Amino acid sequence: MCSQEGDDYRLLKEYANGFMVSQVLFAACELGVFELLAEALEPLDSAAVSSRLGSSPRGTELLLDTCVSLKLLQAAVRGGKAVYANTELASTYLVRGSPRSQRDMLLYSGRTAYVCWRHLAEAVREGRNQYPKAFRIPSEELFSAIYRSEDERLRFMEDLQDVWRLEGASVLAAFDLSPSPLICDLGGGSGALARACVSLYPRCRDIVFDIPGVVRMAKRHFSAWEDERISFHEGDFFKDPLPEADLYILARVLHDWTDAKCCHLLQRLYRACRTGGGVLVIESLLDADGRGPLTTLLYSLNMLVQTEGRERTPAQYHALLAPAGFRDVQCRRTGGTYDAVLGRK
């Protein structure tokens, strides 16, 4: 096998085994491996981990050793036995109590997104999301499918809480939002992005606008409502009156919907927006030619299997914003997962 052929084959195997790596990560999170090791007073051997998790000795040892190879855990030998502890990566991102934890995001990916991705080929053939096949539920009303139970609604909100905990501040700093004293976060869920916003712009007030079930859950399970600068307003942004504001934020909203529904929503925003105000769209932007970055392309396929929408290029967002009346449309890349598009009224 020549060098190039060998490299190509290794790359192919890496791609083919990618789902196994994801499942190791998801399984370790779901079983509570990282929490257990974080709480332990010293590194634990596989028998101790197995006993405390109630998992099989053989399966536990295999999972732990694979996590070591993936640099999620570190191992040492004591008394002739391997003992395990979290790496810095795991302590930072995979333990629930960490301020930068992404555990809930990973659990949502493993329990929901991964199940839909099993039907990617069907999604490509049919051009629509796969909730009917994945979960045997209708998806004509998209968020009735996404929020198909109280547990699933909470899981989705926790997913976004993790995302904005890590990336909210940087994307909100892409443009100076301080001239907007009243901001409305449409589809703002738990209020995680609103908290990042008032932390970055302390003189701003933020209205989180979302459907009643989400607002009730935000007040029951999350703490953003305790900040007097943040208020919650119930409604459907496609149908109900929108609160007047200086700036509307659409964070991971437009990528859920068709161009037609995006245009309808943006027109409603334009009418409600105060003169001199605007809209901030927060999404993962495709390159101008639509063929990168890879992460955003994968997210766009995720929109295919889970929603009605797609990720878009800066030009495609401009083409949505301008007909609604927004002018001086600017795009800013943050260097992170999510970027910012600002349009003014």
255 is catalytic: yes
Q: Which of 233, 255, 264, 318 is catalytic?
A: 255
Q: Could you give the count of Cα atoms lying within 13 Å of 168 in the half-sphere of its Cβ? A: 22
- Run of H or E including 74: strand 73-78
Q: Tell the burial category of 165 from Cβ atoms under 10 Å away from its Cβ (0-12, 13-18, 19+).
A: buried
Q: Are 282 and 251 in contact (CB under 8 A)?
A: yes
Sequence-distant (≥ 6) Cβ neighbours of residue 263 within 8 angstroms: 320, 323, 324
Query: What is the DSSP secondary-structure string of 135-164?
Result: HS---SSHHHHHT-SHHHHHHHHHHHHHHH
Nearest to 307 by CA among 98, 78, 127: 127
Q: Quick one: which of 57, 104, 100 has its CA closest to 81?
A: 57
Asked whether the CA dihedral 213, 156, 270, 245 is positive or negative, the reply is positive
Backbone angles phi, psi at 86, to 5 degrees: -70, 145
The amino acid occupying position 131 is: Y
- Separation CA 251–CA 124 (nearest Å): 26
Instruction: Give the catalytic positions in this structure.
Output: 255
